[in-house]
Amino acid sequence: MCGILGTIPNTNKNHFAQALDTLTHRGPDDFGVYHDECISLGHRRLSIIDLSHNAKQPMAYKSCRGGGNIILSLMVKSIIF
């Protein structure tokens, strides 16, 4: 199991962290968050298959142009090949 949380529009970071903490039982091994001016994403991870740091979420793609801004952030509960 894992836990995911998202809010649109962005919410208070402390309230978001408290809400994400309520999902700790679904993913006690790791967590990650992404905030910008429009959205907040959070993930609680239960490490089963990929135990490496490469599976940390939310995954982010940074553009090579424009100062390395994040242009894509992704959270999934599945396997990506």
Domain boundaries, the chain: 3-74
Q: Which residues on neighbouring strands pair with residue 62, listed in sequence order?
A: 70
Percent of the chain with pLDDT over 90: 15
- For residue range 6-41, list pLDDT tens digits in order: 899 878 899 999 999 999 998 888 888 888 888 888
Q: What is the pLDDT of residue 59?
A: 73
Mean pLDDT for 40-69 is 75
User: 11: which 2 tokens?
Assistant: 């919410």
- Rounded CA separation 38/24 (Å): 25
Range 20-26, long-range pairs (CB < 8 A, 24+ positions):
20/44, 26/1, 26/2
Instruction: State whether CATH 2.60.120.640 applies to domain 3-74.
Output: no
Look at residue 70 and tell me whether its pLDDT is greater than 80. no
Active site residues: 2
